[in-house]
Structure 1
């Protein structure tokens, strides 16, 4: 019995990467139907609300029975394929049904649509002569003229009352579609045609601009939209800003970068120093290293700082854990590794979970200052602009040109008050202007 159990097909299930995850979307299969796989080998990529992940084979054998293809969303825990173990026989599954074809909606000018609607004409039946096959007013009128049935004596079939009404309203019966027996035109048909002509007399609205492409609001983009909408809808957010003199910070980064280049170590950046400085300030102001959970404010012991990283699909926030316990060079190394995995789409669940504070630096894009939206359920997020030379008042009221940067803190007013945010920023400015303080 035990040997037979070991040789049963092993299901590949949609895994759960996050606590709130309900489903996952298949991006692509790295292994195809009938191919051999090894236990622990990546066999497909799955996208969650936050990031794309690789799913590993739970056993060695042959991949069979693929039940979902790229783009399909599958609930967590549901089998999406099976692995036949060595020595086990199995039948190849039937191919997945292809998605039904989506009928093309004909393009038509607004006036053409109104006339067609008034006469009950299906635009699919009309060949458009406008740009790109667009159905025009002339196309619909020509179609209606061709459809009007003609009596043997060459007259349009219409009841006498409809003929009188057409003369009164100035309607050409050749353009009217009859709904009576044998296609005979009724008075109501004439009234509908008159109303359509009245609308046609109105100036035609210009055609809308051509659409370059349609991008579905899905995957990561949809997740970002939902999280940010919930953030601004639920959290009363306020911002405070401070200008920081960055000459000493830049000198420290330059010295370490030169040393690491000589020693073959990681590239030390200003962002790494900002992460370290934020951790130092958060230790002094734990109210900002917090989240709101129900009726409680949770202040966290660990300082885990997420750093926003731009990727082609949107934005991900890999997290550096226990920042306050790491040195600047180690922070730079972890930041470099996680940013690289983020851009390649290879982040692991532990790379994005557990953040207690977020840093967003757009200085490298030439942005002077900006306001970031809270990353729920965190209490605060810091937005950093570029370092640029600006006039500043020095000793003896002398105006000097110095490298300056603007830091803007966004905070949840349910958790943090303005005075707390101001004191945090003041300490952060102090430690960036005198980074040697962090060595104490």
Structure 2
């Protein structure tokens, strides 16, 4: 132990590292968080991680205590990052034992640490954990890390071995599908067979991977089936399990929105079948201006009005505030209960004036048959501008849209800002 180590300071580093990682991880759907603020969070996260590295083995003891106390993915990330950076095999083994007891909530932290650490630190682990016979937790972590940064991880595969796609664990099979989506090579035949897997998540991830490679025949139907099954899971889940089901459903709906072309005749029926907020997010991702009628109807529902207004603004590019399309904010009433459908993400979104928005919408002339973001058709120039300037939720859409022009661009908006900045610089240079 360092003779001048201050345990309270190390504990503060541990708590703040977990906090800023959590902000990063939850930021992808935020309509508020701008790139400059994300950069600030990255700087603070990096400073606290540096403090944990300086603390050395004694800091690992404190980190493990924080994980056992709070049991969160942020604490798992901080401990994984420090243990791998310090090459402490015992601390990493203890962390893996903790994750095996609670993989659904802790594994994301380990995956994130593998994805953001230098390749020289993680390559030996990823190589070992991706061999046949590796434990399920280790295999899923390695595969998910490769999927997030296939070009940056030394020793990453150039194809997807069948032993991953045919693994006995559905979690490993689903993670292998994510690798197949990220690699630039045509996936093996074993991937197509997984569209009929017994596990809903495996089927969904196989369909997403096939679609990434232009092999989308039947992929939308496969993914829709998994979405419908997940809706049934969500309807009966509660608490933490409901949050997990919601996150998985959101991911699949984002990809389904891209698999279905604009103008598809089945989309209106799908929107009516989905919960309203999920349907609004689908429209946001889908980008078809022909669906504005559905969005306008949601303006009349108080529990969805703010989200609907923001989706309409994102589709059309018409700023609600600048064009006087808002209602006055209602006075604060401490006795009025919050509606369950209003998550914190709606805080700060303006309250649209339905009549004024409808009148403005009627005067718009937007291109049809193509996807729009902020009223503009997708192009490398428009999408790069969004990635440089817009909040995270729009950057997430732009990141996915950019794959049609740069399929292997490697930009992850949850990554530390220095990784994003490097990817953006490469993309901007390629466009010049």
- TM-score, structure 2 as length reference: 0.20
Q: Which has the higher strand share?
A: 1
Q: Which has the larger radius of gyration?
A: 1
Using the size of structure 1 for normalisation, the TM-score is 0.20
Higher relative contact order (CA 8 A, sep 6+): 2
